[in-house]
Structure 1
């Protein structure tokens, strides 16, 4: 009889990281502390949205390798990059001010990346020409940055970032330097180019419209922490902080729901159509608010509050009234209506909102 060694117990290998971006970014820069986790699949556009000083740029610089992580990790397509120097990362960056080389033509700006990766001058220029053609800039190949419009410079910067075939594309406020009309056009062009990008794109912005139009998934950062994330539609409909509510143009309150009533703490109750129990948010747009100089009688609105006008400002083609009193809120009304009500700071008003125009959801 032959002795046979007992078979070794099977070991389960560690599951591989999925393709795309998987990062836990922790950066200590006293007194500021960033601690966020972000993931994105190939072909997905992730937007980091937040007010100035929230940590968006810190996160972008950490992803690019321009700022070391205090702890955490950064995996891209399963490969750890947190110890990889920035020049060796498969990352392309479009900076807010584009940072094109002023002494180089548009063609040579785009060719710079492939040249650094070892391509010959001829190969680099061929690749660059193809990218400029894709960006609709074929006729500007020999133009230097100072002779490009803002929109053209933005597209050259994008072509330069994409010419290195990055697996992660970082866009730092890419539309901030453009005027309003150019911004509208370039935003549409950028959306088209990002739709064709097969790897991960991360957009840093404080503009909610840029985030809503360009991104598949939003991560909202405040004070170095993630306060909410989800699809643009979900975040627009269910804001969870005052900052987000202001971005998407909603009055937002938090309280305790008991059936169709949300009791604010502190504050009055708001009647809603949703039937909830427990901690809840309730939101409604300023356009849902109707103002009266005298307490209305016979109104079908279930919500009525006595307020005072704290301020008035033009908001698009309407007047936005900032109200204090029983319930601080914003109300939108036409210029004619504001004149007929003789609204002015200090004026006493009654505000009504129909229950059907509110939206309540669990906190």
Structure 2
């Protein structure tokens, strides 16, 4: 087993992951203290899974470093690292019971069969799985299998816990319940946890800090609340459900790319982002008169789709927009692709911040 580091060395994760794989280049820096839960968030192909596999030792670093509790892990075999992994498909051993799946880790670390099974029983009890100790994976529900995989990863007392899309294999109803359970267990975990996901809700609920990766690079990092309030790329804005534009501010006016102007309550100068939610957009078939909204644009409906219990309209014009409205409002406006509408947004519902 890898030593945990030298006396006085910084606890937690300190890594710069540089991986060259053909034309793809990953260069991501991660730092986290014990007790932190960090989510790597990004589109498919961004490099999230490559980063996770590099942390696990399954992909070699081309450059950079990987330190855990002060110990250098680069070059250490995966099985010798104090790292636990929960894979997307859980990868439980189909011929072993839930108890023996969890006991597998301690056995690999030298525990006797009896001691390993005793440790496994404790973890199954912690995750409310005692009643399923003798069940084979095929007899477990998706949520139960996910918790067995988590127990197996935790049974070796890892200093770094890696979770690769841990809720992706679950149906929507089970996902809600298991997400709440996982949040509870991660809150009790005393070492570093790194979660890879493309689901913004998983990231926002489970993580203390988000690291957003696009094209192998970090494009933004911060708390979920900060990123939701201050998106810096179209990908992030889409995830958190905002209309986002970049432009030049002069006082309360932001001139965005393409020439359209947005009036805001913030008084800024220079390069800025300006954002507002689709729910802030009000649509009219005729140009409104007497409206208190400071922002008004003539647009064309490019498409309509169901979005939860509402209709989301994609609009083209001087400012490409997404607008949310009720089904009744969409019917009353007789919205259809090609229809001309007027869109208004109150300045108080916009948010501008330095780019």
| Mapping for residues 1-363 of structure 1, pairs under 5 Å | 17-363=9-355
Aligned residue for 1:68, secondary structure, equals coil
Structure 1 stretches of 5 or more lacking a match? 1-14
Distance 1:124 1:327 in 2: 62
Aligned residue for 2:202, secondary structure, equals helix
Cα distance, 1:267 vs structure 2: 2.8
Aligned residue for 1:160, secondary structure, equals helix
Partner deviation per Cα, 1:295-327 (whole Å, 9 max, x = no partner): 111111000001000000010111000000111
Distance 2:102 2:8 in 1: 34
Cα distance, 1:16 vs structure 2: 6.0
Contact 2:258-2:318 at 8 Å conserved across structures = no
Aligned residue for 2:220, secondary structure, equals strand
- Greater radius of gyration (CA): 1
Distance 2:342 2:85 in 1: 52
Count of aligned positions: 350
The 1:260/1:16 distance shift into structure 2, 3 A limit, reads farther
Q: CA RMSD in A?
A: 1.1
Distance 2:183 2:220 in 1: 23
Distance 2:311 2:86 in 1: 38
Structure 2 stretches of 5 or more lacking a match? 1-6
Partner deviation per Cα, 1:113-135 (whole Å, 9 max, x = no partner): 00010000000000000000000
Distance 2:28 2:109 in 1: 31
Aligned residue for 2:135, secondary structure, equals coil
Would you identify which runs of 4 or more consecutive aligned residues in structure 1 move more than 2 Å? none
Cα distance, 1:18 vs structure 2: 1.7
